[in-house]
Each structure stands twice: as C-alpha cells, then as structure tokens.
Structure 1
Amino acid sequence: MNTLNHFETPQLELLHRGKVRDSLRAPNGDRLIIVTDRLSAFDSVLETPVAHKGAVLNGLANFWFDKTRDIIPNHVIELVDANAMLVKEAEPIRVEMVVRAYLTGSMWRGYQQGQRTFSGVTVPDGLSKHQQFPEPIVTPTTKEESDREITPENLVSEGWVSQELYDQMKEKALALFKVGSDLLKEKGIILVDTKYEFGLLNGALILIDEIHTPDSSRFWSAEDYAKNPESAEQMDKEYVRQWLIANKVDGQYPRALTPEVSQEATRRYLDIYERITGQPLPTANEPTVGGDVHARLVGNLVRAGLMKDA
C-alpha cells in the first residue's frame, strides 16, 4: 500500500511529531507541516495508515482556509504538495474550541449516563440521540496529553487564556461554524460538530491546524438525517471509531485495521473531499500499490526550494 506514515529528512529539523502531522523547520524559519496517512482514534494512533487520507485532510483544510479568510486570518503561506503545507510560525493556544450543533458522539454517551453539563453548557433532560440544538454550543477542551472538558471560567482562572481572548475565540468559532454549515448545506451535508484551533501571530489571533476536515469534524448526509436522524450516514472517521468499538477485546480497541476497513476508510475520505470541493482529489489516481508518495513529496519540496535535490 502506497501510504505516507511519517516524514523526516536530515535537511530539515523535526519540530514535532503529532498524532497525524509532522512539523519541520523550513530553511527561512517558517513551519512545514506534513499531513501523513496516520489515523488517530480514542487518543491513540493506529498501526494501519489509510491511503490518501493525508492529502484529503491537507487539501480540505486549504480549501476552507481560503473560504474563511474574511472571518479570520490563518497561518497558510502555500500548499507545496498534496500532503504538505508551508505555514507561518504562530504561538499556539492550547485550547480546542469545539462547536456542536447536535447531541451525538461523546456528548451523547455522557448524556446517556446522566451528564447534563458539558464544559459549562447545561442541556435539558428529554433530548434524543442526534437531536439538533436550538443554536450551536461551544464546549472547549484543553490540549493536553488527554483532552479535558473545561469551562470558560476555568480556562481563564487556570491561565490558559484571558477572558478577552476567549470571547474572541468563541465569536470566531461560531462565525466559522456558520460559514461551514451554510456551504455544506448546499451540498446536502450537515456539519454536526467540529473543533477549531487558534494561535497568536504578532499578538493577533489567527486560525491554525485544520478546519472542517473529516478528522476535525463530524458530517452527516442531510438526506439520511431527514429520513431517520438516528441512522444518518456518517461521512467522517466515525466509521472507523464505530468499527473499533464493535471489535473491542477485553476492553481494548484493536491496534490495526483490517484491509477491508482501511479500504472503506479511504473510499470515504475521497468521497467527502469530492462532495465538499466539487472536484476529485488531484492525487486520487496515484496507484495505491507501486506508487511513491514520499518521492513525489520530496520532489515538490525540492522544487519549492525547501530541500536540496536529494
């Protein structure tokens, strides 16, 4: 299988290896983000990479960054490869702004167990699975080894952000969510929930990381939701999460995907890319066997002047 599981080179300093992204220092001091085909679920990186996944995430993030520049500046300088983005170096804010429009996922699981307050937001009794909220809600979490639900008040008191900065992040997150929801609605897709990450560049708030991708967001088919809300088609990596849940052994999730599940995950990633952008992924026809994503990436980094000819 032709996948990009990680990227490193002695020519560029490795700054950080996250669950999905590898960050390196570009020669001029900017940051080079390589979006790999690694897949993370339940705070763990699976052993099985998913073909084309990194290019889908990178391409969709670039699509949405471009669509939302009028709401908030972002860190993008240039898309240098299907799997690589050159970005401005920002000071990350260690908070995820999670916006939810429906009762589902981890929130629904907590709700079933009697939880009614989530990151300081209280929801009423009597709600059903996948029910839409009257208005989207913001349920922030900290960015730690394991993300932690936290109230806005505690974010301020613990020193994560100032009240002024939190208010600005909340305002921008809701504005971004509205733009995403409106555009996707035209394509028959519901933006169920998502997370946004922000940073500071020269003291100003900017959008970083990714936006409205299948890894950072939950998507449903609007047609399916209208027919039966509780069985709406999930057009994101929830498919993989549900497979992991169904195949737990002695309370442990599988560490690897079967070939069939990996291939179906690839199909879903490619499908959501085309549905959102209206175009197939440019690199979708690269052979999954015998091709070389790594060689293509290196060639594009050399052409962009970020590496010397290897």
Structure 2
Amino acid sequence: MNTLPQFATPQLQLLHRGKVRDSFRIDDSTRLIVVSDRLSAFDSVLETAIPNKGAVLNGLANFWFEKTAHIIPNHVKGMVDANAMLVKEAQPIKVEMVVRNYLTGSMLRGYQSGQRTFSGVTVPDGLTKHQQFPTPIVTPTTKEESDREITPENLVSEGWVSQELYDKMSEKALELFKVGSDLLAAQGIILVDTKYEFGLLNGELILIDEIHTPDSSRFWSAADYAQNPEGAEQMDKEYIRQWLIANKKDGAYPRALTPEVTQEAVNRYLDIYQRVVGQPLATAGDNEDVTERLTRNLVKAGLLK
C-alpha cells in the first residue's frame, strides 16, 4: 500500500515538520498543512508509516471543524487534497486543553500509583479503571519539548495565557466535547478524552490543529463498554501503544511495527472514519502514489507550478 511518510517541495517554504504534520508557507495569511502517514507514540515517530492514516486524520478534522464552527471559528480555509488543508495563519497558544470523561490512559496510570490531583483537578479515592466521571474535567498541559501537567493558576502566573483567555478556552473545550460526545454516541462510540488546541487570529480565539481524530482522542465502542467497562475496545492508536508496551525490550520500545500490526492499525483508522463520517474514505482503495496525487492537486489549486 502507498504511504506518505513526508512531503517536501522546493517551491514552498517549509515552516515546520512536526511528528505527523508538515506545514508550508503560502503567503502571510495562509499556510498549507500536509498530514503525513507518520505515526507518533510515546513522543517518538515510528519507522513504519500507516497507509491512509493522514487522509483519515485530515478528513475527520475537516468533518469536525465544519460540525463545530457554530461554537468557535477555526483555521480552515479548505481541503486541497485528501492529505492537505489550507489554513489561516494564526498565533498558536502553547497550551493543550485536555478534556477527560473517564479514568484511563496516563491519568489511570498516575491514579494507580497514588496520584489524586491532575492539573489542579482532584479526584476521589475508590475509582475503578475506565470509570466515568460525574462531569468531564479539563486537565491542561503545556506544549513544550515534553508536555507537562499544569494548573490553570500556574498557566496564568507563568504567562502562558491570561485568566480571561484560559476561562474562554476551558468553556469552549467543554462545549466542543459535548458536541463530539453527542454525535459519536449516536454512532455507538464513546468519546473518552481528547485535546484541543487554540490560536489567536486578529485577537480572536479560534480552534486550530485537529479535532476528534484517532490521534488526538480516545474512542471506545459503547456496546463493549456496557458489557465490560475495563475491557472496552479501543478504537484509536492506543492499540498501537499497548502493542509497543507489550513488546518493549531492554527498556526500549520497538521502532517499527509488524505487517500484521500495521494492517490492524489501517483497519482501525478506516473503520473509525467510516463510522463517524458515515461513508468510506474516498481514497482508501486508490493505488495511485500518494505523493503524485498530492502534487497534482496542489498544481491544480495553483499552489505549485
């Protein structure tokens, strides 16, 4: 299967190559974001690219940006390819707003080791694995070399955001989570937790990056959760994290995935896309080289010669 490990062109200035996304300058107010098929886990990019992953993330993000535009403006100008999106140039806020509705993931690991306060939110003793909270909680982190938990008070005192801006980000994050949870529940999916990133455009708060994708969110099958909460099916890249943990050797995670694990990852990404959007990913069956298709569409859009 074809993959897009990364994209490069001498015709566009590379602004940033992240773990998954490559950003290019179009003009002072516009950038091109190309979503690659790279996979990041435990703060490291694996050697194995996942076919269709970039198109799934880009398509789902666009779907959710459209569904939530009434809550908060976003940076999208338009899709130019299954793997690429034109966005407005905004000033990113170096804070991730993490919304959690269940005790799982890194929070569960901390809880099991005795931690009870997370980013300033204190939870009670006696909670069980995957237990739902009475209401969703916001546990912000900084966006640094290594993200760190931080209280809202410290975000303000350290100068990351003003109190007014944090309050608005928290309010919008919870509204976005409610819309996502309700829509996914109708598809038999639980939105377990997620992260949102915001920016400022002409002084206005907008939503940037991605929203409700398998890379930024954790999903469970509602039917599985009802039957066995602690063994609920993970419909996101947690499957790959667990495989890496299970195959850790001498303190190091594997750098590459097996063909079987790679194919299972592809299946999961395509399945979550179809379940959320209601139709299969249009490019899933294509045999065309992804880079060639992307280049052709960028030329068609007048972005390349």
State TM-score, norm by structure 2. Answer: 0.99
After superposition, the C-alpha distances for 1:265-289 in whole angstroms (9 at most, x for unaligned) are: 00100000000000100101113xx
Residue 297 of structure 1 pairs with residue 294 of structure 2? yes
Q: Given residue 209 of structure 2, which amino acid in structure 1 is its aligned partner?
A: D
Residue 245 of structure 1 pairs with residue 242 of structure 2? no
Across the aligned residues of Structure 1 and Structure 2, the Cα RMSD in angstroms comes to 0.7
User: Which residue pairs with 1:81 in the alignment?
Assistant: 81
User: Which residue pairs with 2:35 in the alignment?
Assistant: 35
After superposition, the C-alpha distances for 1:146-203 in whole angstroms (9 at most, x for unaligned) are: 1100000000000000000000000000000000000000000000000000000000
The aligned runs of 1:235-274 (5 Å cut-off) are: 235-274=235-274
- Report how many residues are paired: 305
SS at match of 1:176: helix
After superposition, the C-alpha distances for 1:50-103 in whole angstroms (9 at most, x for unaligned) are: 000000000000000000000000000000000000000000000000000000
Aligned partners of 2:272 and 2:27: how far apart in 1? 34
Per the TM alignment, residue 246 of structure 1 is displaced from its structure 2 partner at its CA by: 0.2
Aligned partners of 1:66 and 1:229: how far apart in 2? 32
Q: Given residue 282 of structure 1, which amino acid in structure 2 is its aligned partner?
A: A
Q: Given residue 298 of structure 1, which amino acid in structure 2 is its aligned partner?
A: T
Aligned partners of 1:29 and 1:198: how far apart in 2? 17
SS at match of 2:171: helix
Residue 150 of structure 1 pairs with residue 150 of structure 2? yes
Q: Given residue 291 of structure 2, which amino acid in structure 1 is its aligned partner?
A: H
After superposition, the C-alpha distances for 1:18-72 in whole angstroms (9 at most, x for unaligned) are: 0000000115641000000000000000010000000000000000000000000
User: Which residue pairs with 2:280 in the alignment?
Assistant: 280
Q: Given residue 32 of structure 1, which amino acid in structure 2 is its aligned partner?
A: L
Q: Given residue 171 of structure 2, which amino acid in structure 1 is its aligned partner?
A: E
The answer on whether the counterparts of 2:28 and 2:89 sit within 8 Å (CA) in structure 1 is no
Aligned partners of 2:285 and 2:107: how far apart in 1? 38
The aligned runs of 1:1-310 (5 Å cut-off) are: 1-27=1-27, 29-287=29-287, 291-308=288-305
Aligned partners of 1:251 and 1:228: how far apart in 2? 31
5+ long unaligned stretches in structure 1? none
State TM-score, norm by structure 1. Answer: 0.98
Aligned partners of 1:4 and 1:145: how far apart in 2? 25
Q: Given residue 101 of structure 1, which amino acid in structure 2 is its aligned partner?
A: N
Aligned partners of 1:124 and 1:286: how far apart in 2? 50
5+ long unaligned stretches in structure 2? none
The answer on whether the counterparts of 1:96 and 1:195 sit within 8 Å (CA) in structure 2 is yes
SS at match of 2:282: coil
SS at match of 1:214: coil
Q: Given residue 125 of structure 1, which amino acid in structure 2 is its aligned partner?
A: D
Q: Given residue 90 of structure 1, which amino acid in structure 2 is its aligned partner?
A: A
Consecutive aligned runs of 4 or more in structure 1 exceeding 4 Å deviation = none
SS at match of 1:215: coil
Q: Given residue 268 of structure 1, which amino acid in structure 2 is its aligned partner?
A: R
- Cα 1:168/1:28, change in 2 over 3 Å: closer
Aligned partners of 2:30 and 2:127: how far apart in 1? 47
Aligned partners of 1:166 and 1:40: how far apart in 2? 28
The answer on whether the counterparts of 1:12 and 1:27 sit within 8 Å (CA) in structure 2 is no
